[in-house]
A and B are shown apart, each in its own frame.
Chain A
């Protein structure tokens, strides 16, 4: 494989992880602040909202999977 091809793959992998990371962060931002608000109102929902907060992490996980498949 040419060096340039390897480089392109690396860039693609970096974009896959980086962009999905940003997307997950943006999504978690809104959920996170709402979650803190809800917890302040009622402490019992802590477990549930912690879970809701990690739901958008799927986005970055797919990105990571794509990146891993690209590289290896």
Chain B
């Protein structure tokens, strides 16, 4: 549970002619994590060499590229694709050879045509944009060209212009910028240019067209509609092909992927002229199955042995958790996968995360809404990670409902039963009542922090005891104990001086020395001894002592973030019901109905926003408490992911 899956190191040696059956067998088991062979690149090196791919590797790769190109054109994503039926591998292989080139040809032709038409549409639209400024000016577009003694200016200006040179001008007023066309004699070009420059002249190209602008635009618009229709037809055709072949394509991709992986596996093996050596990791429980499978597949012409694991080996890590904790592996992978020798805290995060979430967003209403949302999304979310996230959120929502019952809250309203946890009902809207019990809530949060951090330190002791050696091991374990001692020492000191709710009261003990009572003395002793333990391991660590207080106080976010969402909920209720709806219900008028509708909108919108904020805040802060406050006490992470050779087939089957 708290440990990753036990791994064994396997060495496989056989002659090269057994390579294909060995790879097939390993692939079938989907358990062998290949340790890549790295060739020592020294000069005149005469030892193992990296293997060469099996035959058929390059054909399979190029077919795979083709298939992926088609999939791209269709935007088919095999991960999101639901398998309707499983294809038989050998039948499919025949089909690949026979049908794939035809499909590829057809798709290529159609997509090529489509992109050509797309380009044409763009071109015509550009032309329309060029012509449209001239639309207000009567006259043929031919008239703008071909003069030797006149020069034509066409463009935008910011204000009206008056030109002293004899000229012909058409001025169209527009929003912010005005369009103008000026025809003037060539020899006085500079003067006109000067005047235009002052008016912020921006030239436009005169379209290379002939005919009335309006007619040209109508013509091009017709062209665009025609081409768009053609594009639509092609898209329909492509859709039909997609509909027909999508299943075939994802199945092909899967088969080819398998083939490529199999044929390229030798690139990770060490080889000599006649033999090959494969090294890798398998879960210890499966060693025998794999050994027997290999012996059977090669007819006994193979040598398989288990190697001892040395301290410096980087062992791939596979989680080994009970099924309820599996979705929380997502939260672990976001931080870092545990190392092989480390404790795997997944199970703790899977229990504590929902509790924290519930403490923050403890509201029956929001909990039910989130639960419905999660269950509803389950149908649409594909892919492993999305599903895991949904399960994590679903558990969190259940916890939210549970804590909502304890807090007696429903969308910010009090429920008809009495709260069990300290009250979070703020006095918003002047309804009176008890008001929130902030000190009580705070103490609950601090207690959770104390316990969580102590647990973290205890795990730190276990981790150091397991991972370290010799002198350092004792020191590191004692340092972790020192941290616990300092924290509890400070606590006992505080208890001996101040009386607080939900905390032991040690202020009444008789004073022993210097007006301090026995508890204070014990607390101070714990603090000093703890600090000594820490200093023995590393003196610099003493600088970190204040983090004990800041990390413990950080758990007050469980209250603070929760209270802020309660406050928003209550404010929304007060604005929607207290201010907008209730006063209008006394005598209903037409404006009153509008106010009531507005109130309903505020109510729904406000609570939706608050729920989104609550989910974000609740989950991020719970995760953060784990990552920053909890994991820093014991967890390093950085383990290598266990990714065995093989593939879970979804669309095909081997027959």
Instruction: Please encode chain A, from 15 to 56, with 1 for each CB lying within 8 Å of some chain B CB and 0 for all others.
Output: 000000000000000000000000000000001101100110
Complex CA distance for A65 and B443, rounded to whole angstroms: 12
B437's closest neighbor in chain A, by CB? A72
Question: Are the CB atoms of A62 and B553 closer together than 8 Å?
Answer: yes
Q: How far does the Cβ of B389 sit from chain A's closest Cβ, in whole Å?
A: 9
Q: Is the CB of B628 within 8 A of A55?
A: yes
Is chain B's binding surface mostly helix, strand, loop or mixed? helix
Question: A69–B439 contact, CB under 8 A?
Answer: yes
Q: Which B residues are CB-close (under 8 A) to A54? A: 620-621, 624
B557 within 8 A of A: yes
Q: Which of B616-655 contact A (CB under 8 A)?
A: 620-621, 623-624, 627-628
User: Does chain B have a CB within 8 A of A12?
Assistant: no
Q: Which residues of the other chain, B, contact A55 by a CB distance below 8 angstroms?
A: 624, 628
Minimum distance in angstroms from A29 CB to a CB of chain B: 17
Would you call B374 an interface residue if the criterion is a C-beta within 8 Å of the partner chain's C-beta atoms? no
Please name all residues of chain B whose beta carbon is closer than 8 Å to the beta carbon of A71 when the two chains form the complex.
Answer: 438
Is the C-beta of B501 less than 8 angstroms from some C-beta in chain A?
Answer: no
Stretch at the interface among B80-88, B514-522, B559-567: B559-567
The listed residue (B438, B564, B620) touching A50 by CB distance below 8 A is: B620
Query: Chain A interface residue count: which class?
Result: 10 to 19
How far in angstroms is the closest Cβ of chain A from B295?
41
Contact B564 A64, beta carbon cutoff 8 Å: yes
User: Which of chain B's residues have a CB closer than 8 A to the CB of A69?
Assistant: 438-439, 442
Q: Is the CB of A51 within 8 A of B623?
A: yes
Residue from B334, B439, B554, B561 in contact with A72 in the complex, judged by beta carbons closer than 8 Å:
B439
Chain B contacts for A57, CB-based, 8 A? 557, 621
Judge whether B556 and A65 touch: CB under 8 Å. yes
Interface centre among B556, B559, B623 (most CB of A within 10 A): B556
Q: Are B334 and A48 in contact (CB under 8 A)?
A: yes
Contact residue range for chain B?
Answer: 20 to 34
The smallest beta-carbon distance between A31 and chain B, in angstroms, is 13
The answer to whether A47 and B334 have CB atoms under 8 Å apart is yes
Q: Could you tell me the distance between the alpha carbons of A72 and B438 in the complex, rounded to whole angstroms?
A: 7
B557 with A51: CB separation less than 8 A: no
Identify which of B435, B554, B560, B561 gathers the most chain A CB atoms within 10 Å of its CB: B560
- CB-CB under 8 A from B435, the residues of chain A are 72
Decide yes or no whether B436 CB sits under 8 A from chain A. yes
Closest beta carbon of chain B to A54's beta carbon, Å: 5
From known contacts A54-B620, A54-B624, A72-B436, infer whether A61 and B442 are also in contact, taking CB-CB under 8 Å.
Answer: no
Within 8 A of A (CB), among B115-133: none
Asked if A68 and B560 make an inter-chain contact with CB atoms under 8 angstroms apart, the answer reads: yes
Question: What residue in chain A is nearest B333 (Cβ atoms)?
Answer: A47
Known: A55-B624, A65-B442. 16 other contacts (CB 8 A): A51-B334, A51-B623, A54-B620, A55-B628, A57-B557, A58-B554, A61-B557, A61-B560, A62-B553, A65-B553, A65-B560, A68-B560, A68-B563, A69-B439, A71-B438, A72-B436
Which residues of B come within 8 Å of A, CB atoms? Answer: 334-335, 435-439, 442, 553-554, 556-557, 559-561, 563-564, 620-621, 623-624, 627-628
Can you show 18 pairs from A to B with CB atoms below 8 A apart? A47-B334, A48-B335, A51-B627, A54-B620, A55-B624, A55-B628, A58-B557, A62-B556, A65-B442, A65-B553, A65-B556, A65-B560, A68-B438, A68-B559, A69-B438, A69-B442, A72-B436, A72-B437
